[in-house]
Copies of this chain bind each other. A is one copy, B any other.
């Protein structure tokens, strides 16, 4: 089973990478983009026996920095 973990910065946390990308998008001539936030995406291939609690544990301990980031776990049908 495939699992996606989306990690994004919490609201209020400064995102210099996102800001740089926003500037670059405007520099390329695109208009209409109001904000860009950069985050990370992990795609895990796990056994069906892995529980939501275990995934939660992995994400909180290893994949996201819970001080400044949130995560969202999404199970994808295999």
Contact present for A30 and B57 (CB under 8 Å): yes
Q: Which of B25, B35, B62 contacts A25 (CB 8 A)?
A: B62
Shortest CB-to-CB span from A46 to chain B, Å, is 5
Known: A34-B45, A41-B41; 15 extra A-B contacts, CB below 8 A, are A6-B41, A8-B41, A8-B43, A24-B62, A25-B58, A28-B58, A28-B62, A30-B54, A30-B58, A32-B46, A32-B49, A35-B44, A36-B44, A39-B42, A40-B41
Question: Nearest 5 pairs between A and B by C-beta?
Answer: A32-B47, A35-B45, A39-B41, A41-B41, A32-B50
Residues of chain A whose beta carbon lies under 8 Å from any beta carbon of chain B: 6-8, 18, 21, 24-25, 28, 30, 32-47, 49-50, 54, 57-58, 61-63
